[in-house]
Structure 1
Amino acid sequence: MSAANGAAVASAETAAPGTPDAPTPNDRRGARRAVTAASVGTVLEWYDFFLYGTAAALVFPALFFPGEDPLTGVLLSFAVYATGFVARPLGGLVSGYFGDRVGRRRTLLATLVVMGVATALIGLLPTYEQVGALAPVLLVALRFVQGAATGGEWSGAVLLALEHAGTRRGIAGGLVSSAVYLGLILGNLAFIVLVAALDEESLLAWGWRVPFVASVVLIGVGLYLRAKVDESPEFLAVVREGRRARQPSRRRSANRGT
């Protein structure tokens, strides 16, 4: 940060209420809206991401990795689960690039759509019994897409919340971080309800698909909230000043080397 920018930040933080530099009611409402949208979207994204973990233990070994050894099926199912974590850094890089080029808000809307579509498609996949080895191949591909979308979502949601939060960045960051665990709880609850309500045959036949397909509705809620959020003020300032990099990753590398 330059000396001029540092002075501006310090001035904004110490300005008395009612001065031009103090946060206005509109600023505060915009910040609350941004933090809420980022947090809710994060809950939904991580619901989708962790939903696979529960299904990997309960139903995927029998549906996608059947064989004489049940333990092998479980291990293969969780190996696919790990694919999502492998893809997360790649998703963070891609989303970070587009976040710096086209804006945080648009990028987060895209990651939400990608995650929702991938999750719903998992719920619509044919099983090994229906199409053979193609079923686990498609499952791996969709899990990779899930992981990439989550990597972009996590970094982008935190960034959007912090850049809107002004001097309350600690609270904003904490709320978005807590949203991850709410997603985990929701993903587990979805299968707890199914296991309690359905017999094993119904669960394996169609019940397991419901939480995945329901992601379409949940993602619609997230899109509605995020569509109402203004673009990050820091990104808009970069655009106004003509400081947007054509190759953001290269620019960061050059800055680290200087």
Structure 2
Amino acid sequence: MASPASTRQPSTKSLFAASFVGTSIEWYDYYIFGTAAALAFGSLFFPQASPTAGTLAAFATFAVGFVARPLGAAIIGHFGDRIGRKSMLILTLLLTGGATFLIGVLPTYAAIGIGAPLLLVLLRVVQGFGVGGEWGGAILIATEHASPRRRAVYGSFAQFGVPIGVLTSNLAFLAVSGLSDEEFLSYGWRIPFLLSVLLVVLGLVVRRRLQDAPEFEQIKQQNTVIKVPFGELARKQPRNLIMASLASIAAPAVGYTVIVYMLTYGTTVVGFERTTLLTLILASTVVWIATILGSAALSDRYGSKRMYVIGAVTAVLWPVPMFALVNTGDWGAALVAFMVAAIVQGLMAGAQGGLFAEIFDVRYRYSGISISYQLGGMIGGALTPIVATALFDAYQSSTAIALYVAALCLITLVSLFGIRRITEPEHAESGEESPAPTAG
């Protein structure tokens, strides 16, 4: 049995703060890089390339972080399953926050030549490595303290960090958007990166107060911790690992199309002002947050898998009309496009934490949900801005981009029907999986 100290239940507010504050900081760091890649990095770190090639190079640097994320998920997940969730969450915060601050003081190509983009890539790798282990730990620190009937709601705590990260990163860039182009490229883009150090301190204060859940503490006390969690995961639950990875593609595919690619496409192709697009994306995050909350509540009542399927269906249907609305050049139409995209993401985000926490055994759960989430994010998030830029350059039309994003979302929709939920520990012990109930 777990010790009294380990069975002490933290308050809902404490769990919310630890999951939400930490992931908000992590995603603030991540999204300011994406925004800077769209607005500044091409000319600052790759000045010898053509405008299109410079944008592709900046997005490629952005994508490097996604490549590092599965590695971070595997390594941090390994130690999260062996040592504990809390210690890994502190590590991820330090890695991502430290790399972000250093990017803010990084010399540009004009100052040190080829060393500038190389250092940028290195810091992006460190940033991505930290983010790789963040989401899984933040989900588990909340869901493993929750009752089965509240698992999706508790799992949504970490999911709030994604739109809040978008919100705060856009606010940070809006604060410097009044600068001239010369001032913005000289020093304005650095300010959001430097401010991240204040957020990291806040996150550390909140997370140091946490304890791992009794479910995990009991495994440690019974000495049943697995030496190589990923090996056991791959041997006993390969199907869920693959299906969950594919199920993680749609949300970042839609999200990064809006918050990263649209900043380039909307300004250079459609003709929107940079400030206008940032404001519209900012407004859509309110809808995003509300949808996460509603989806999580409905997931606990009707089933997380069912709500995730609904979100995936909308993700398949929305990219074509979304681009059509943006292409009108009207800010009202673009706002509708971004708000519906926020609903699409929120439907899946509200259900994802609860669903993923229920499909992997606790002994390798950190590894399972982290790796699957990051592999899906790499496909849906890293490649989408790059492919979108290349597709528009080839076809001079947004239709090919919209169809590409819809196809990615269709992969997610199909994969959901292959996910099976584990309902009792003995299923994991024997390597068997119980059929997924219709009501999650």
TM over 0.5: yes
Matched, 1:142 2:96: no
Q: Does structure 1 residue 169 correspond to structure 2 residue 151?
A: yes
CA drift of 1:68 comes to: 5.7
Counterpart residue identity of residue 166, structure 1? S
Give yes or no for contact 1:161–1:172 (8 Å, CA) kept in 2. Answer: yes
**Aligned match for 1:187, one of 144, 166, 169:** 169
Q: Deviations over 1:64-99 (max 9, x none)?
A: 010262222111101111111222111111111010
What is the root-mean-square deviation of aligned Cα atoms in Å?
Answer: 1.7
Identity of aligned residues (%): 44
Q: For 1:21-32, what aligned pairs fall within 5 Å after superposition?
A: 27=9, 29=11, 31-32=12-13
Read off the aligned partner of 1:226 and give its amino acid letter: R
TM-score by length of 1: 0.85
Which of 186, 194, 210 is residue 205 of structure 1 equivalent to?
Answer: 186
SS at 1:95's partner residue? helix
Matches for 1:241-256 after TM superposition, within 5 Å: 241-256=222-237
Partner of residue 66, structure 2: 85
Asked if the contact 1:105/1:232 (under 8 Å) is kept, the reply is no
- Distance, in Å, in 1 between the alignment partners of 2:136 and 2:223 is 24
213, 226, 241: which one aligns with 1:232: 213
- The amino acid that maps onto 2:201 is G
Q: For 2:227, what is the secondary structure of its paired residue?
A: coil
Q: Distance in 2 between matches of 1:71 and 1:254?
A: 44
Residue by residue over 1:160-218, the C-alpha shift from the partner in whole angstroms, topping out at 9 and shown as x without a partner, is 1111223321111122213211111211221111012x222222222211111111110
Q: CA deviation at 1:42?
A: 0.5
Call closer, same or farther: CA 1:253–1:58 in 2, change over 3 Å.
closer
Query: 2:207 aligned with 1:223, yes or no?
Result: no
Following the alignment from structure 1 to structure 2, what is the Cα–Cα distance between the partners of residues 195 and 183? 18
Residue pairs, 1:32-47, within 5 angstroms:
32-47=13-28
Structure 2, unmatched stretches of 5+, are: 1-6, 239-430, 432-440
Q: Which runs of 4+ in 1 moved over 6 A?
A: none
Q: Which residue of 2 aligns with 1:119?
A: 100
Q: Which residue of 1 aligns with 2:36?
A: 55
2:139–2:157 Cα contact (<8 Å) kept: no
Q: Which stretches in structure 1 are left out of the alignment for 5+ residues?
A: 1-23
Task: Provide the C-alpha distance between the structure 1 equivalents of 2:199 and 2:17, rounded to a whole number of angstroms.
Answer: 15
In structure 2, distance between residues paired with 1:253 and 1:70: 43
8 Å CA contact 2:19, 2:157 repeated in 1: no
Contact 2:92 2:130 in 1 (8 A): yes
1:160 aligns with 2:141: yes
> What's the offset of the Cα at 1:129?
0.5
Deviation at 1:252, TM superposition (A): 2.6
What is the TM-score normalised by the length of structure 2?
Answer: 0.51
**Post-superposition offset of 1:28:** 5.4
Aligned residues of 2:19 and 2:142 also touching (Cα < 8 A): yes
Deviation of 1:51 (Å): 0.6
Local SS of the residue matching 1:243: coil
| 8 A Cα contact 2:64 2:121, kept in partner | yes
Task: Name which of structure 1's ranges 61-70 and 100-109 shifts more when overlaid on structure 2.
Answer: 61-70
Whole-Å Cα distance in 1 between the matches of residues 110 and 125 of structure 2? 23
What's the secondary structure of 1:27's corresponding residue?
Answer: coil
Aligned amino acid, residue 185 of structure 1: L
In structure 1, C-alpha distance between the alignment counterparts of 2:10 and 2:69, rounded to whole Å: 32
Range with greater deviation from structure 2 (47-56 or 198-207): 198-207
